[in-house]
Amino acid sequence: MKKLLLLLPLALLLTAPMARAQLVHSEKSLYREVLVYEENGERCMCFTRQCRIGRQSCIFLNDAHRFALNYTRMMLAGTLFTGPPPRRLLIIGLGGGSLPTALREILPQAEIDVAEIDPAVTRVAKRFFNFREDPKMKVIELDGRVYVKRAIRSGVKYDAILLDAFDHEYIPEHLLTREFLAEVKSLLTPQGVVIGNTFSSSKLYDHESTTYADVFGTFYNLKAANRVIVARPAGLPDEGSMRAKAQEYEKILSTFGVDALSVLPMFTTRTDWDVKARVLTDQYSPANLLNH
C-alpha cells in the first residue's frame, strides 16, 4: 500500500494541465486538433489546449525510452503478468505509441496490430514520439470498433487486447458498452487478457465497473490517477504466478523506468463501485452526460 501511495503524486502531476508549456506542433484533423507541448523536459501529445483535459502520451526529452506516465506502467503490467507471453496483440488507440514501442522491444517476435482512427495522430507519433512501424507492427487507420468487427469476421484471435482510445474528453461512448466489450472478448484466445485504460475519478466509474463485470466477471482494478482494468475470461492468475512473471520481466522493464514488483500491490479485485449502477449498452451509453 505504501508503494501505491508514493505513485499518486507523480501520477497527478503528470496529468495536470501544462499551463506554461511551449506549443511545438499543432494540426487539425477530421476528428480533433492534435497538439504537442514541451515543458520541464517532457514532450506531450494532447487533444486540448494546454492539455487541460489530460495528456494522451508523454516522453522525457532526455530519455525517451523511460515511461513518463503511470498508466503505461499499469497497462504493461496487465499485459505481461497475467498469462503466457502474448504472441499477437491488438492495441486500440495509438497516442504517441509508447505502449506498442515498448511491447515491440520486450516481445520482439510478437505481432502487434494498432487500430487508430486518426491519421494525424499516427503522423505526430512518428514525427515527435519516435514511433515506428515494422513488418510485425502495423497501424490500421480505422475506428476501433469497426476494426474489431472486421477482425471477428476474419477469424483472427489475440492473446492481449489493450483498450487505450480517447477523444478530447474521454473514451468514445461506443467503446464503453457491453456489446463492444463482448465483441472484444470474442477476439481473445483461450488464455487471452483485456487491459482497459480508464479514469479513476470519472462519474462513469460505477457504470464502467458494472459493465466490465457483466461481460468478464471478476477483474483486477489498478488505480492511480488513471484506472487500468485487467480482465481474463479464463480466470485471473494468483499473486504467486504474477510475482513470478514480474521477476521474469524485471530486468527489461527497469530499462523503461518500471519497478516490476512495485506494481503488484496495485492489483486488486475489491469492489469499490455501486454494483447497482446501470450497465452501459449501445442503447444506453450517455457518456457525454454521465461524465460531467
Catalytic site residues?
164
Query: Which candidate, 51, 136, 135, places its Cα nearest to that of 96?
Result: 51
DSSP line for 26-89: EEE-SS-EEEEEEETTEEEEESSGGGTT--SEEEETTEEEEE-SHHHHHHHHHHHSSSSPPSEE
Q: How deeply is 31 buried, as exposed, middle or buried, from its count of CB atoms within 10 A (0-12, 13-18, 19+)?
A: middle
d(CA 28, CA 110): 33
Query: Helices 239-254 and 98-106, interaxial angle, to 10°?
Result: 100
d(CA 225, CA 252): 25
Alpha carbons within 13 angstroms on the beta-carbon side of residue 223 total 16
